[in-house]
Each structure stands twice: as structure tokens, then as C-alpha cells.
Amino acid sequence: MERDGFITQEAFEALSEEWQAGYVTAFMPSFRRVVDSDGAHALKLDFIQHYYDLMEWLLPPEEYDKLVKTPMWNAAFENAELMLDALEEGLASPDVPDSGKAGLPAMIQAVKAMIQHKRDLDELPEQP
């Protein structure tokens, strides 16, 4: 599966449970291939975002928060500098269409704010 083959939430929800399962089953090998490759970070981010979308569409809200959202934010906080590099690479990449770059400046600013927050936390005095 390629990036341009990603389904929308509306289209996904219109599928039967059997077809939804088939879509996820078809997506996962491509997801693993892209994420495990040495390829462009922007493409990896697109596949990771679609994976998170699928999990949100499939899981009940409480499970999504516990199993996906909280661990994702913890990982993002720990790896903010890597995320910033990947987002900036995506913004500069000729391989990413303009439509894919549209939200990147806002995401870059959010990650920069996260990095600054981490620095501010590191400067706080330790509590006894």
C-alpha cells in the first residue's frame, strides 16, 4: 500500500467490519516496511499518522487513550528533537506534495514549544 492509497475515516467507517479488518491487514506490511526502512522521515510520519488514525477509528476511546495516545505522547516528548528533524526534512523535501506540507509549519512550532518546555523542566530545581 502506498501513501496515496490511505482511506479516509468516512470511507473506513462505511466499510463492514470484515472489510475494515481486511484494510488494516493489507496496511500493516506496508507500514512495517516503511517504518523499518532507511527511507524519508516524512514518508514514515505519514504512515505512522495513518496507523494512529486507524487505531483511533478501531478502538474504544478509553482503550485508544491508554494503549495509543498516552504512550505516543510520552514517546513524542522523549524524542522531540528527532521529530523536529523529521518535520523539517519533510518541509524541505521535494518528495512531499504541497498538500502534505500544509500542516508542517504548525507542527514544527508545536514541537519547538515541546522542546522548550523540556528545557524549562530541566532547569527547575529538584524537589526534596
Domain coverage including residue 106: 3-123
SS3 category, 1:
coil
Which triple of cell numbers denotes residue 90?
A: 519533510
| CB crowding 33-72: b at 16 or more within 10 Å, else e | ebeeeeebbbbbbbbbebbeebbeeeeeeeebeeebbeee
User: Which pLDDT score is estimated for 2?
Assistant: 79
Using CA atoms, how far residue 34 sits from 1, 48, 59, 119, in Å, is 10, 9, 23, 32
pTM over 0.75: no
- CA pair distance 28, 47, nearest whole angstrom: 10
Structural domains counted in the chain: 1
pLDDT tens, per residue, the chain with 128 residues: 777 789 999 999 999 999 999 999 999 999 999 988 887 777 888 888 899 999 999 999 999 999 988 888 888 888 889 889 988 988 888 888 887 788 889 989 999 998 898 888 888 888 77
- The enclosing H or E element of 52 equals helix 41-58
SS3 category, 126:
coil
Contact 51, 31 (CB under 8 A): yes
**Residue 77 belongs to a domain:** yes
Which triple of cell numbers denotes residue 106?
A: 504548525
**Residue 128 belongs to a domain:** no
**Residue 61 belongs to a domain:** yes
